[in-house]
Amino acid sequence: MNVKTSHYLQKFSIYIVLVILFIACSFISPYFIQSSNLINVARQLCVGILIAYGEMLLIISGFLDLSVGSVLALAGVLSVSAYKSTQSMAVAVIVALSVAVVCNLINALFVANFNVPAFIATLGMQQAARGLALYYTGGQNILQLGDFVKIGQGTVGPIPVPVIIVIGISVVIWYVVNNTQYGRGLYAIGGSRSAAEASGINSKRSIYKSYIINGLLVGVAGMIFMARNNAGLPNGAVGYEMTGLTAAIVGGTSFTGGIGTVSGTIAGAFIIGFLENVMNLVGVNPYIQQVIEGFIIVLAVAFDVVSKSRKSQKVIVKEEKKEEKA
């Protein structure tokens, strides 16, 4: 195998895996490839993809967010409550986005200004946001959402509304990552924060922007999640941060920072979605599904570390050969 072929296989490996998995799932369960099931999978993946985008942006720059599930629940229940009080979807959207952004600004404050590790800062927010959601609702679900459910269950023709929302957001995220100074700065900070700052990149500003965008994505995800469940669930979305992290990492986002793509994250989300769906179709125990997803995360991170190590060794060998020739 020549170098060029090896490069292409490595570059497109995630998409090859996705296609192979799709074919395998269609053989495992004939119901898998029915249009109704595939539309259902796409609808279910919308929340996970939005969360994965936020995690992708943060991981590329060397950070992460463990508070996603709790902030999603808090933003979602407050959004539902605002809608029931005003019957205004505009007010509900503003509330959801504002709550999620404020929570993420607090995360950014501790990470960027006080140098608190993102793991610790967002773990604290995870507890605080969940507690606030439960306190506000008294631990009770908010029912009878009315037209609020359209954002999660409605359709435009045959296409679910959440899918349309996610497609639009995907285009925006792709553009931001690939065609803006902020997007290019993410990769530089993830590669080496000190080197990025030395080249004139304001890392603190970038951290704030990443967490703000993450907040906006979580706010939208919170509304879709509550609408899909037709209830404001203060205990909802537990563990969803792992769903986002898994999709991003499986999709090729390097946990050590500096590497990641929007298309890869989408592919990673669909790989996880297809696996979950086919396991449900064949009746795999939900607890066993969690075990499998845990192994997937570990294997994906291990693969990333090994790949980076091999690349580093190749670079060292090339440099040594150049020195010998000189």
CATH label of the domain that carries residue 278: 1.10.3470
- For residue 326, being part of any structural domain is answered with no
- For residue 147, being part of any structural domain is answered with yes
41-71 pLDDT, tens digit per residue, is 999 999 999 999 999 999 999 999 999 999 9
Rounded Cα–Cα distance for residues 191 and 290 (Å): 32
- pTM, to two decimals: 0.91
Name the nearest CA neighbour of 261 among 272, 250, 274, 273.
250
- Model pLDDT, residue 315: 46
pLDDT-flagged residues of the chain (< 70)? 1-10, 304, 308-326
Per the CB < 8 A criterion, the answer to whether 282 and 269 are in contact is no
Rounded Cα–Cα distance for residues 171 and 69 (Å): 24
Q: Exposure of 16 by Cβ count < 10 A (0-12 exposed, 13-18 middle, 19+ buried)?
A: exposed
Q: Please give the structure tokens belonging to residue 55.
A: 């995690």
Rg, Å, the chain Cα set: 21
Q: What stretches of 270-325 adopt beta strand conformation (E)?
A: none
Rounded Cα–Cα distance for residues 107 and 168 (Å): 26
Residue 159's DSSP bridge partners are 156
* b/e map 99-119, b = 16+ CB within 10 Å: bbbebbebbbebbbeeeeebe
- Model pLDDT, residue 165: 97
- For residue 30, being part of any structural domain is answered with yes
- For residue 324, being part of any structural domain is answered with no
Name the nearest CA neighbour of 125 among 82, 64, 80, 79.
64
DSSP alpha helix (H) spans, 144-253: 150-153, 161-179, 181-191, 193-198, 203-229, 240-250
185-227 pLDDT, tens digit per residue, is 999 999 888 999 999 999 999 999 999 999 999 999 999 999 9
- For residue 8, being part of any structural domain is answered with no
- For residue 257, being part of any structural domain is answered with yes
Residue 35's DSSP bridge partners are none
Instruction: Provide the domain limits for residue 292.
Output: 13-318
Q: How many domains does the chain have?
A: 1
What are the angstrom distances between the C-alpha of 13 and each of 7, 16, 18, 209, 237? 10, 5, 9, 31, 30
- For residue 325, being part of any structural domain is answered with no
Name the nearest CA neighbour of 53 among 301, 234, 219, 293.
219
DSSP alpha helix (H) spans, 61-180: 68-86, 89-108, 118-137, 150-153, 161-179
Contacts within 8 Å (CB) and 24+ apart, 169-175:
169/50, 169/53, 169/217, 169/220, 170/49, 170/53, 170/262, 170/266, 173/53, 173/57, 173/262, 174/262, 174/263
Q: 158 by DSSP, 3-state: which?
A: coil
- For residue 170, being part of any structural domain is answered with yes
Q: 236 by DSSP, 3-state: which?
A: coil
Per the CB < 8 A criterion, the answer to whether 213 and 108 are in contact is no
